Amino acid sequence: MKDYYKLIFIGITFSTFYIIIYNIFFYSPILGYDAESHYLYVDYISRYLPREIRMPVRLDTREFFNPPFAYLAPSFFQIICRNTIESENLLQACRPIYGTATQIFQSIMYIATIAVNLFTLKLFNNSKKIFNTSYLIMISLLAVNYRTVSMIRGENYILFFLSIFLYLILKMEKSNYKFNFKRTIYFGLVIGGLALSRQWAFFLFLPIIIMLFTTQINDKKEYLKIWIPSSVIGFLLSGWFYINLYLKAGSFTAFNMERTSFSFYNQPISFYIPTLENFKYLFFKPIRPHLDNQFFSILYSDLWGDYWGYFSFTSGYLDIGRNQLAIGDYFARVNIISIFTFTVICVFYFLSFKKYSQSFLIRYCNLAIVSSFLGYLLFAISFPVETGDSIKATYIIQGFHLVIFVSSIYFEKLKIMNIKIYNIFISLLLIIYIHNFQTFLSHFPYNFTTF
């Protein structure tokens, strides 16, 4: 039976590599969310690199508010390209080249993210082997992963730095919070990396402050000796960007929309509680515009499928996309059978938290999940969009990854407690993985682009 789990683990691993490679050939990042604005950001900062780092303003790109980390790699590839090829329009000619190079880079980073999380889970579970089929199959079922990796986006960097952050937290907990100079430096570098990835990362910092007052720690001085210098290092690395953003845009957390005064009335009641007429589309036709600014319904559909139609649902190019006539019905089936996946993840998440509620790492994850989803909900209320265009699973992908990280701990323990039930769950999830496989792949034609 051990070979069965190992075979599934290896099979999904090779399947992930296939998905990533396939999408590199069949998906161009220019087709992604606000892609033109992200490319303008890259083109702007690459003009000045490597001499200086100059941040764009609102007139240069709508994505001016984003920290620069997600744009450094594509800018580096752009610089290599423009110094290598000959063209009358180097900026335009290099776009498809650095787009593909960035996909490859982000794909490697995604694989590294999964590997680090597997290693952290190995340490937490005191396991001898890194094979954790429970975690790998659940994380691999999230269609949003493959879509996010294929676009030029800072959320990929958040996931990578978050995986290292969780590992460092576990090492700190196992050392009973004893000060370690090298680990403190690493914490500072990771905090700086998170802050320079995307503003969503700040939802991951609030739990550290809350836990200082809510967690029983024998020596809080040791706790502070770790987090104060780490935070200072993180600020020194990233603070310059937010100070510059404040000076140029008037806010440390500027955005490309005007913030409204916070009120739950900013959004209609259907935003929080879907109407029955619209709710039926969640399991009959979960593609735009049927869910009409419904927060939870859109997030659910975008997590397992592609509600907005930028990847496997080619909403802007229905005439060229593969299987587009049947894609809505297929996503409906995906949403229906993913109820089982969603239930398994949630049940094991609560069981993990209950069993390991005294663990600092699990407490942190729990608070970070609450902070991420609640913060994102408040964001969507503060920046209302009639179509719900700001509701995307990619934006809050960090929360989904944290839930699965915690959920997999008890799920893996189930293998020891009740092997028969574990086998049933793993087998059913494998069947769902096979059924949902088309949601992991781009449905655009080979080498299609809008350049």
pLDDT digits (tens, 9 = 90+) for 375-390: 999 999 999 998 899 9
Token pair 């024998």 is found at 218
Cβ–Cβ under 8 Å, residues 404 and 345: yes
Cβ–Cβ under 8 Å, residues 244 and 55: yes
> DSSP class of residue 90?
H
Cβ–Cβ under 8 Å, residues 190 and 161: yes
The counts of H helices and E strands in the chain are 17, 0
Using one digit for the tens of pLDDT, what is the confidence trace for 138-175? 999 999 999 999 999 999 999 999 999 999 999 999 98
Reported as a pLDDT band with limits 50, 70 and 90, residue 261 is confident
Reported as a pLDDT band with limits 50, 70 and 90, residue 176 is confident
Using one digit for the tens of pLDDT, what is the confidence trace for 183-211? 999 999 999 999 999 999 999 999 999 98
Using one digit for the tens of pLDDT, what is the confidence trace for 204-228? 999 999 988 876 666 677 788 889 9
Alpha-carbon distance of 400 to 302, in angstroms, equals 12
Alpha-carbon distance of 16 to 440, in angstroms, equals 9
Q: What is the pLDDT of residue 136?
A: 98
Name residue 139's beta-bridge partners: none
- The 10 Å Cβ neighbour count of residue 185 is 13
| Cis before 274 (ω within 30) | no
Please, what is the Cα angle at 229 between 73 and 197, to 5 degrees?
20
